[in-house]
């Protein structure tokens, strides 16, 4: 990795984080912050690009997420931790970059198209109740149209499309990669830790930077994606761990619910008795693989032995789950205690975010001076 790299990454404030968030991103942030200049941003404006209807829990979600960041090991003395909306320069730079970003780049962004389809299936395309005696779109206030019966069951394709267009086809949602480019470029971000699915956005950020530089002169370094292999974190139902599936284990999961989740987790449906040979890893006999084994791989240093024991029918699932709980006990207790101690220090999260915003604003202000000068705005 190049010396002097600046790392920028952001997370939408969705509240308490689960193991998938930790192993997929947060752990990498903590590692990177040890020897790089890092900016870690609570991207609350990004949250609005798809979640603009529901903002009542936003402040609580920010606080809960930052508490998890800190308890997981992010140290404000080693990195800048701040919220996007505290640094107005993100909005100014995004606006100026939008002047030079062709609309077609955003409309052809494959991630945007996929996200639109995905959200249409899971959130905005969903109705609470079909209203009797009315057209399906009549009488439904925006917030009431969130959870419940799938729109496809009650709406014609055309009606469904009209609703989705109205609620999701916002300029903010389409504009999201420009805001993301501004987030990165404001700090001269050269490395952006991302997953495979975010690669098109980083490519777009690179193109946005290149186009700006080609018109106004060299102002921005081109950011590069930093793909770090992350272990597969499986939810308790066998699918990928995700808040929207409700299959997660929170980093600060209390002991009782941790036990309930582990003891009820998906294993191998074909392994009924302890002596039955099991299929711990994804395979044709057990396509998702065993969720418990996936966690053993993360928290039990002797997981390879466990794989053999399972496959040879030398351990039953109940004993295997209890053993996993014993391995989880120490790390989870340590995390909860650290989180609680930060929480007890009154105003600590606000203080860290305010201090981070000050440090971020100082850098952002310098970048904006260069941008305004390059564009002859100053």
Footprint of ligand SF4 (CB under 6 A): 267-268, 271, 278, 280, 290, 292-293, 310, 315, 317, 320-321
d(CA 266, CA 226) in angstroms, rounded, equals 32
> Least distance in Å: CB of 297 to ligand SF4?
10
- Among the listed residues 186, 227, 180, 226, the one whose alpha carbon sits nearest the alpha carbon of residue 205: 180
In the complex, what is the shortest distance from the CB of residue 148 to ligand SF4, in angstroms, rounded to a whole number?
A: 34
CB of 300 to ligand SF4, least distance (A): 10
Contact between 213 and 243 (Cβ < 8 Å)? no
The residue among 40 and 293 lying less far from ligand SF4, judged by its C-beta, is 293
Q: Which residues of 130-139 are buried (b: 16+ CB within 10 A; e: fewer)?
A: eeeeeebbee
26's CB contacts (< 8 A; 6+ apart) are: 17, 68, 69, 72, 74
Q: Which residue reads 């060299």 in tokens? A: 218
Write down the least CB distance from residue 110 to ligand SF4, Å: 36
Task: Name which of 32, 78, 359, 84 is nearest 194 in CA terms.
Answer: 32
Distances (CA, A) of 181 to 44, 149, 220, 232, 251: 15, 37, 11, 28, 30
Quick one: 158 or 301, whose CB is closer to ligand SF4? 301
Residue number, 90 or 271, with CB nearest to ligand SF4: 271
Interacting residues of 113 by C-beta distance below 8 A, sequence separation 6+: none
How far is C-alpha 364 from the chain's CA centre? Answer: 24
Q: Least distance from C-beta 236 to ligand SF4, angstroms?
A: 12
For ligand SF4, give the closer residue by CB, 95 or 319: 319
Cβ 276 to ligand SF4, closest distance in Å? 9
Q: What is the dihedral of CA 286, 288, 292, 298, to 10 degrees?
A: 130
Q: Which residue has the tokens 């284990």?
A: 249
Contact 308, 293 (CB under 8 A): no
Nearer to ligand SF4, 280 or 356 (CB): 280
Q: How far is the CB of 321 from ligand SF4 (least distance, A)?
A: 6
Nearer Cβ to ligand SF4, position 89 or 268?
268
Q: Which is nearer to ligand SF4, 135 or 277 (CB)?
A: 277
Q: How far is the CB of 280 from ligand SF4 (least distance, A)?
A: 4
97 versus 290: smaller Cβ distance to ligand SF4: 290
Residues 292, 351: Cα–Cα separation, whole Å: 39
Q: Which of residues 184 and 290 has its CB atom nearest to ligand SF4 in the complex?
A: 290
b/e burial code for range 200-230 (CB count within 10 A of at least 16 → b): bbbebbbbbbeebeeebeebbbbbebbeeeb
CB 100 within 8 A of CB 162: no
Question: How far is residue 342 CA from its own chain's centroid?
Answer: 23
Residues 6+ apart with CB under 8 A from 197: 111
* Nearest distance in Å: CB 329, ligand SF4: 17
Of 106 and 294, which CB lies nearer to ligand SF4 in the complex structure? 294
CB of 312 to ligand SF4, least distance (A): 10
């Amino acid at each position: 990795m190049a010396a002097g790299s600046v790392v920028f990454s952001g997370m939408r404030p969705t509240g308490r984080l689960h193991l998938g968030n930790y192993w997929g991103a947060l752990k990498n942030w903590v590692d990177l912050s040890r020897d790089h200049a890092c900016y870690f941003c609570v991207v609350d404006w990004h949250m609005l690009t798809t979640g603009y209807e529901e903002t009542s829990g936003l402040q609580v979600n920010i606080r809960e997420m930052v508490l998890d960041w800190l308890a997981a090991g992010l140290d404000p003395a080693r990195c800048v931790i701040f919220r996007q909306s505290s640094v107005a320069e993100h909005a100014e730079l995004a606006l100026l970059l939008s002047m030079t970003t062709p609309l077609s780049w955003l409309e052809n962004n494959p991630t945007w198209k996929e996200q639109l389809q995905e959200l249409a299936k899971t959130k905005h395309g969903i109705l609470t109740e079909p209203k009797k005696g009315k057209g399906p779109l009549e009488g439904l206030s925006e917030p009431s149209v969130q959870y419940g019966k799938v729109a496809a069951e009650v709406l014609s394709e055309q009606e469904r499309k009209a609703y989705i267009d109205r609620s999701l086809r916002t300029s903010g949602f389409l504009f999201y990669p420009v805001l993301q480019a501004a987030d990165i470029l404001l700090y001269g971000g050269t490395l952006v830790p991302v997953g495979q699915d975010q690669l098109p956005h980083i490519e777009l950020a690179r193109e946005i930077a290149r186009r700006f530089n080609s018109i106004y002169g060299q102002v921005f370094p081109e950011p590069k994606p930093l793909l770090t292999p992350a272990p597969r974190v499986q939810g308790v139902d066998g699918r990928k761990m995700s808040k929207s599936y409700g299959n997660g284990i929170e980093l600060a999961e209390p002991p009782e619910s941790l036990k309930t989740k582990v003891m009820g987790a998906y294993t191998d449906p074909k392994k009924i008795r302890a002596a039955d040979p099991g299929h711990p890893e994804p395979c044709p006999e057990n396509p998702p693989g065993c969720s418990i084994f996936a966690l053993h791989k993360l928290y039990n240093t002797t997981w390879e032995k466990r794989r053999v024991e399972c496959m040879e029918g030398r351990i039953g699932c109940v004993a295997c789950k209890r053993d996993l709980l014993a391995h989880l006990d120490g790390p989870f207790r340590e995390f909860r205690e650290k989180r609680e101690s930060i929480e007890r220090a009154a105003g600590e999260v606000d203080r860290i975010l305010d201090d981070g915003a000050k440090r971020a604003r100082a850098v952002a202000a310098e970048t904006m001076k260069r941008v305004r000068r390059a564009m002859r705005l100053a």
